[in-house]
């Protein structure tokens, strides 16, 4: 591409340098999570010291990425900046944690991040909010401009489309969430259901959180240590009971989540049989998250009693992940469409000034010629003459300007813009108004 | 309205075929447009179907239930209408593929072999008897849908119990919703068949027909009682799970049996000729 073509079809000059869960261990990622103040420092440094016109920082527990427009960011610069802010020497260890993307890969990478394709858990939805927050922060700090904002809008639109038009975010991808999913599949709405937690450890707590998010409001916590049961009970607004009270509590529960470290089954068949009589055979779901299992396998043989262990939940998680992986090509197609749309918009920024300059060029020639020959006509004919010349110029320019305006749509469009500039000697420098339009 | 009839005779199977394709796609892929397109086409088909039967009724001067093909078409409408009602109430679109192929098949047969150019004919039976037949047919349709949901419930129940969490498991609504759909359709059938029985008894008294010797009447009343018990057990006794579904399926089987017995083994005024 010639120098003038580069001038009319400028690259975005969009770069990305960062690290994520694939290139760095957890301790490095943890150490590099930036607070809002630290993001502000980074954005200032990228603009002032690296000369970028726009900058954005995305910092989550799984990634820290720096995006800049208008200046290339050397890896060494970003490593030094992160060391300055967080005190962690990324280059000293001899390991290469940082990756760099140049255009168009940098744009594609941003879109992939926003859609959850680059996440540790494929298709996880939190990243969309995190990208949105990063943009809000950059805008507040004056780091992002119209091009970066438009780019982020396009990335977020891809993410929204990916979630509504594909199955990239569907299905449970953790055992605790799979437990909720299974409960919903058996019992429908969980809003009026009661959950009995047997055990008060981390797994039981995590499951309780997911059930709360699904709308469950009534919990009972049974644990060998009453103190721990009360602690978890207080956190989830549940009632603490002793482990011996489980047979009494069972008829009132709809879902039983068991996650103890007991070597013997805690829930026996006779216990459940009695409970089912009292609850008039209404469905009862056991989610046995313990190894070895807390629920006697014989319980599963009772009618309307459903028992699922970690293997069943793992099966659900594996199915969801496989399903999400199968959706990746659809998301990638959405990304390509939205990228093309954005790049077309960006190219149109280069076309507009040329069209304006092209028209001005001809109108100026017409005006000069009119002024030169004005004396040869009667004053009362001047208006008609001006209208005639203006009409001729407009008719001559109509087709070329229409074709030029569509240049961003066509593959040879930029070359055509370049040819027009060269043929008619249109000035390379853009007016202030043109720059504002960009 | 007569000119509309041949056009609707052809249009109905096409619309049902389109809805089968759309619901099939919605079942295979949740994110496909089938989930949005299917209900629109189906509602249009139901509307046209009502228009078709009304046009037939106006043209012929009596309710269009003169042949087995008419019976098939009315049953198809009943199935489609009850399914649409359940879909609207429960917001579940992935089960349409288990109901609508039957609707399509019934309407194709009716459209292909039925009387496409009907003319005005004197009614064979008084209006009340015709209305009795029509409500009974609609009731059968509702019980048919109920039975389909009953079978789907049992299949899903077994999958979940056995920890076989297949594609079917992922596509089906919650077990509790399937149970509710089974009972809702049975409730609609109960009301319609109840009305049909009342109208039939009223007509028999006026026409001096001895119902006591008619096995279909007894079997139908028996089936109605069984289905009534299943619905009552769900609402009043809190029955959930396979037991409630088996009760409603027993009622539906008895209903089918009454039809088979009447048509194949005995001769009565209920036999289709």
Residues A179 and A102 both lie in one domain: no
Residues A238 and A370 both lie in one domain: no
> How many domains are contained in chain A?
3
Residues A165 and A217 both lie in one domain: no
Residue A318 counted as domain residue: no
Q: Which of A345, A373, A400 delimits the end of a domain?
A: A345
How many other C-beta atoms can be found within 10 angstroms of the C-beta atom of residue A240?
A: 21
Residues A54 and A182 both lie in one domain: no
Residue A314 counted as domain residue: no
Residue A182 counted as domain residue: yes
Segments of chain A scoring below 50 in pLDDT: 1-9, 429-438
At residue B47, the pLDDT reads 96
Q: Which of A317, A345, A373 delimits the end of a domain?
A: A345
Residue A315 counted as domain residue: no
Annotated catalytic residue A209: no
Q: Which of B58, B76, B67 is nearest to B17 (CA)?
A: B76
At residue B121, the pLDDT reads 56
Residues A106 and A198 both lie in one domain: no
Nearest CB to A184; choose among B174, B240, B241 = B174
Domain range enclosing A84? 3-169+334-345
ipTM score for this prediction = 0.80
**Which domain CATH number covers A39?**
3.30.460.30
At residue A431, the pLDDT reads 43
Residue A154 counted as domain residue: yes
What residues in B contact A303, CB-CB < 8 Å? 241-243
Phi/psi for A334 (5° steps) reads -65, -40
- Asked if A210 and A233 count as a contact pair (C-beta separation under 8 A), the reply is no
* SS (HEC) of A106-160: HHHHHHHHHHCCCCCCCCCCHHHHHHHHHHHHHHHCCCCCHHHHHHHHHHHHHHH
Residues A163 and A215 both lie in one domain: no
B148: closest CA of chain A, how far (Å): 19
Best A304, A306, A316, A331 residue to mutate vs chain B (most B CBs within 10 Å):
A304
Residues A133 and A185 both lie in one domain: no
Segments of chain B scoring below 50 in pLDDT: 273
State the Rg of chain A over Cα. Answer: 32
At residue B87, the pLDDT reads 94
B97: closest CA of chain A, how far (Å): 20
Residue A308 counted as domain residue: no
Residues A259 and A341 both lie in one domain: no
Cα angle B162-B168-B174, degrees, rounded to a multiple of 5: 80
What residues in B contact A185, CB-CB < 8 Å? 160, 169, 172, 174-175
Q: Which of A16, A61, A115, A209 is catalytic?
A: A61
Nearest CB to A280; choose among B177, B238, B242 = B238
- Cis bond before residue A104 (omega within 30° of 0): yes
- Going from N- to C-terminal start, the domains of chain B cover 1-124, 134-273
At residue B266, the pLDDT reads 65
Question: Which residue is closest to A316 within chain B, CA to CA?
Answer: B165
């Amino acid at each position: 591409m010639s120098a003038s073509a580069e001038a009319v079809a400028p690259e975005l000059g969009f770069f990305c340098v960062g690290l994520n869960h694939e290139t760095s261990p957890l301790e490095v990622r943890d150490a590099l999570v930036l607070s809002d103040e630290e993001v502000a420092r980074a954005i200032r440094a990228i603009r002032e010291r690296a000369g970028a016109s726009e900058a954005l920082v995305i910092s989550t527990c799984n990634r820290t990425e720096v995006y800049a427009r208008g200046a290339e960011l050397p890896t060494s610069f970003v490593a030094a900046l992160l060391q300055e802010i967080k005190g962690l020497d990324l280059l000293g260890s001899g390991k290469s944690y940082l990756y760099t993307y140049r255009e168009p890969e940098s744009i594609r990478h941003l879109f992939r991040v926003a859609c959850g394709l680059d996440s540790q858990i494929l298709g996880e939805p939190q990243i969309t909010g995190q990208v949105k927050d990063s943009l809000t922060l950059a805008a507040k700090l004056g780091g992002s401009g119209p091009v970066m904002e438009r780019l982020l809008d396009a990335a977020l639109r891809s993410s929204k489309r990916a979630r509504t038009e594909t199955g990239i975010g569907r299905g449970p991808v953790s055992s605790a969430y799979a437990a909720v999913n299974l409960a919903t599949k058996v019992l429908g709405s969980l809003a009026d259901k009661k959950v009995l937690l047997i055990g008060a450890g981390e797994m039981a707590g995590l499951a309780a959180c997911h059930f709360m998010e699904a709308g469950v409001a009534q919990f009972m916590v049974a644990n060998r240590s009453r103190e721990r049961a009360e602690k978890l009970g207080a956190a989830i607004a549940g009632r603490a009971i002793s482990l011996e009270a489980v047979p009494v509590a069972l008829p009132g529960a709809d879902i039983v989540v068991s996650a103890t470290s007991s070597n013997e089954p805690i829930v026996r068949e006779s216990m459940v049989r009695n409970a089912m009589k009292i609850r008039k055979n209404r469905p009862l779901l056991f989610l046995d998250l313990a190894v070895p299992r807390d629920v006697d396998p014989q319980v599963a043989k009772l009618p309307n009693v459903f028992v699922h262990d970690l293997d069943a939940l793992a099966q659900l998680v594996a199915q969801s992940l496989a399903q999400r992986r199968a959706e990746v090509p659809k998301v990638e197609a959405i990304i390509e469409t939205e990228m093309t749309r954005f790049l077309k918009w960006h190219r149109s920024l280069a076309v507009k000034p040329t069209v304006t300059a092209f028209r001005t060029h001809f109108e100026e020639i017409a005006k000069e010629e009119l002024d030169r020959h004005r004396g040869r006509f009667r004053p009362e004919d001047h208006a008609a003459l001006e209208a005639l010349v203006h009409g001729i110029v407009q008719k001559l320019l109509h087709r070329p300007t229409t074709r030029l305006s569509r240049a961003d749509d066509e593959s040879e469009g930029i070359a055509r813009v370049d040819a027009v500039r060269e043929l008619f000697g249109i000035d390379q420098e853009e007016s202030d108004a043109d720059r504002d339009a960009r | 309205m007569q000119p509309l009839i041949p056009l609707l005779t052809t249009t109905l199977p096409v619309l049902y075929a389109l809805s089968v394709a759309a619901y099939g796609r919605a079942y295979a892929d949740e994110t496909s447009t089938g989930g949005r397109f299917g209900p629109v086409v189906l509602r249009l088909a139901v509307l046209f179907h009502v228009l078709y039967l009304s046009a037939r009724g106006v043209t012929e001067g009596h309710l269009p239930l003169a042949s087995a093909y008419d019976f098939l078409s009315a049953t198809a409408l009943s199935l489609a209408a009850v399914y649409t009602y359940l879909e609207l109430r429960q917001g579940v679109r992935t089960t349409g593929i288990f109901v609508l192929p039957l609707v399509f098949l019934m309407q194709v047969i009716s459209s292909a072999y039925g009387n496409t150019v009907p003319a005005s004919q004197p009614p064979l039976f008084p209006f009340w008897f015709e209305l009795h037949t029509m409500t009974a047919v609609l009731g059968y349709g509702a019980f048919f849908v109920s039975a389909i949901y009953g079978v789907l419930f049992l299949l899903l129940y077994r999958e979940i119990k056995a920890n076989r969490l297949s594609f079917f498991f992922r596509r089906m609504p919650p077990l509790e919703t399937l149970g509710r759909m089974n009972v809702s359709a049975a409730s609609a059938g109960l009301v319609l068949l109840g009305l049909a029985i009342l109208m039939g008894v009223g007509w028999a008294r006026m026409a001096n027909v001895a119902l006591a010797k008619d096995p279909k009447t007894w079997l139908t009343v028996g089936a109605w009682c069984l289905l009534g018990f299943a619905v009552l057990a769900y609402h009043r006794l809190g029955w959930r799970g396979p037991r409630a579904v088996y009760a409603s399926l027993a009622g539906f089987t008895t209903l089918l049996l009454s039809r088979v017995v009447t048509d194949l083994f005995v001769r009565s005024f209920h036999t289709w000729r």
